[in-house]
Structure formats: C-alpha cells, structure tokens
Amino acid sequence: MLKILITIWCVVSKITLEKVTADKIEELSSLAYKIWRECFPGIISNEQIEYMLEKFQSVQAITKQIQTGYEYYFITCDGKTAGYTGIIVNSDGIFLSKIYLIDTFRGNGIASEAIRIIAKTGSPITLTVNRGNLRAIRAYEKMGFVKIREQKADIGSGFIMDDYVMQLN
C-alpha cells in the first residue's frame, strides 16, 4: 500500500518512512525494546512491558506479523532513526498498530508527520491507545482522531490491555 520510501519535508526536518525488510527485523526488535522501556513505565507495569515485548515485538513475533500482512516502517528524521510504525491494511482502512518514537524525538511533530504520510492513502486510520497514555491520547486528538469505543483485551499471563479505539476519517 505505501511506497517503500516516502519522504516529506518539514520546517526543519526531513521525515522518511522506510519499509522494514527481513534483514532489518532484528534492528526493529531492538529498537522496540529500547522505546517501550522508555515509554511505558508508569503506564503499565515493568512485568507487563517485558511480557508484551516478548509476545509482540520479539524477532520471532515481528517475523510472524510481517508474514501475515503487517507492514513495519522505520521513521527517520534527517537520516537518523527516530522510531517505527506498524500498520495493517484491511477492508475497513488502515489499522495503525504501532507508532513509537525514541524519547529524544518525541514532542517535535515527527509522529504527526508520519501519520500524515499514512493518511495520504485516503483510507480511514484506526488505532488503539492505552487509556493511561494521556500524552499520546492528547496528541492523537490534536491530529483529529476521535475516541470511538473502549476496549479491554486479555493478552495472557494475567495481563490486560485497557485501550481506547480511536479513528481518523
């Protein structure tokens, strides 16, 4: 759906989405482990962070996801890896499964620009966000996402994902 390399120019930065290929899955997984450990303390427990990383962002999990239709992209800013995103294209539009930035890149509009790139497809974008992740919720609302429902999912080992489902039309 998205081109392998999509570029837009911002006021001060060049933001690029680069499709993750099989030879880059290990790099993506390492990046995910770094970012999640920065992003989620205080929102979910360290035990849940580690469980979810192994279940959803390990090399094996990412490989399987890509084989079943996920598309992952590195988000780069002026040639430096700033984070990553993962999408699933389905009959309802695009499910934005993941969009995460390294701490030093947050708050600069990079995620917003990455979402604008994805939105250029013209398809509705749906995502889930932890109900305790107030910073992300505010950012999504600023971009025009609206809450359409609450969702709780048992992900095993006694852990629950307690999310809002949000959509951008």
41 has pLDDT over 50? yes
Within a domain: 53: yes
Within a domain: 36: yes
What is the rounded average pLDDT of the residues 139-157?
97
Within a domain: 135: no
Euclidean distance between CA atoms 52 and 28, whole angstroms: 15
- The total of other beta-carbon atoms located within 10 Å of residue 121's CB is 14
Q: Which domain holds residue 97?
A: 5-123
Q: Tell me the CB-side half-sphere exposure of residue 8, using CA atoms within 13 A.
A: 16
Give the neighbor-by-neighbor strand order of the sheet with 5-9.
5-9, 14-19, 71-77, 80-90, 93-101, 125-130, 159-168, 146-156
Within a domain: 140: no
Start-to-end CA distance of the chain, whole Å, equals 17
Residues of the chain with pLDDT > 70, as a percent, come to 92
At residue 123 the predicted structure's pLDDT band, cuts being 50, 70 and 90, is very high
Within a domain: 68: yes
Within a domain: 145: no
Measured in whole angstroms, the distance separating CA 25 from the mean position of its chain's CA atoms is 15
Within a domain: 34: yes
**Total number of domains constituting the chain:** 1
CATH number at 10 reads 3.40.630.30
pLDDT tens digits for 92-105?
999 999 999 999 99
pLDDT tens digits for 18-31?
999 999 999 999 99
Q: Give the pair of three-digit tokens for residue 37.
A: 């450990």
What pLDDT is recorded for position 169?
84
At residue 12 the predicted structure's pLDDT band, cuts being 50, 70 and 90, is very low
Within a domain: 9: yes
